Amino acid sequence: MSIKAFLSLSAVLSLSFGSSALAFDKATFFDAALCKPAYTTASATKMYDEAEKLAKADMSLMTAAIYKLPGDFGRQGFKTSELVFAGLSFGVLVEGLRADDLAKAYQLKSDDLGSLLGTATKAYARALPKSAQPTADMGIVSIIARESAAFPGKTLLACEFVTNEDREAMKQLQGK
């Protein structure tokens, strides 16, 4: 093989692996919204650090940092190009009002706490099994899907950590 052919092949392989690596990294964001791996402060920090390398956060909502990435990195027919960090949650904004579809795809159940004080028009959740709860004595990690006026025309799919104290306070506010 000539040096010119070798350099051309190397450039093609480099570009191919480079875009595969980028696609893999973006797919990792969608996986993280599904609590894969289970939420920990270390995994959330890693996702945040990676997002910071790829885009600048939109902080206009004051309650969430939204990162718009180039290109779709959704899965299973769900399109997304936006990451969300809000409180102790990490997720993606799925295009369209798709909470019902996300609930079916990821075995989520209706979550009355998610619609607290009108914050969500539709709310679904599924707590991770006890073996995947990083700090069950402090709170619960769940996969959630919510439609809300805060994200018009989009649905939040996220891995969410709620402290036991916050969960009890939300239940009391709803009279449960």
CA atoms of 38 and 12, how far apart (whole Å): 36
Summarised one tens digit per residue, pLDDT across range 107-141 is 999 986 665 555 788 999 999 998 888 776 888 89
- Identify which of 89, 20, 81, 19 has the alpha carbon closest to the alpha carbon of residue 48: 89
Q: Is the distance from CB of 166 to CB of 174 less than 8 angstroms?
A: no
Q: Is residue 14 predicted with pLDDT exceeding 90?
A: no
> How confident is residue 22, by pLDDT bands cut at 50, 70 and 90?
very low
Q: Which of 32-41, 48-57, 108-117 has the lowest mean pLDDT?
A: 108-117
Phi/psi region, residue 128 (left: phi>0; alpha: psi -120 to 50; beta: rest), is beta
pLDDT averaged over the chain?
Answer: 78
pTM comes to: 0.79
> How confident is residue 40, by pLDDT bands cut at 50, 70 and 90?
confident
Q: Is residue 154 predicted with pLDDT exceeding 80?
A: yes
Q: Where are the domains of the chain?
A: 3-173
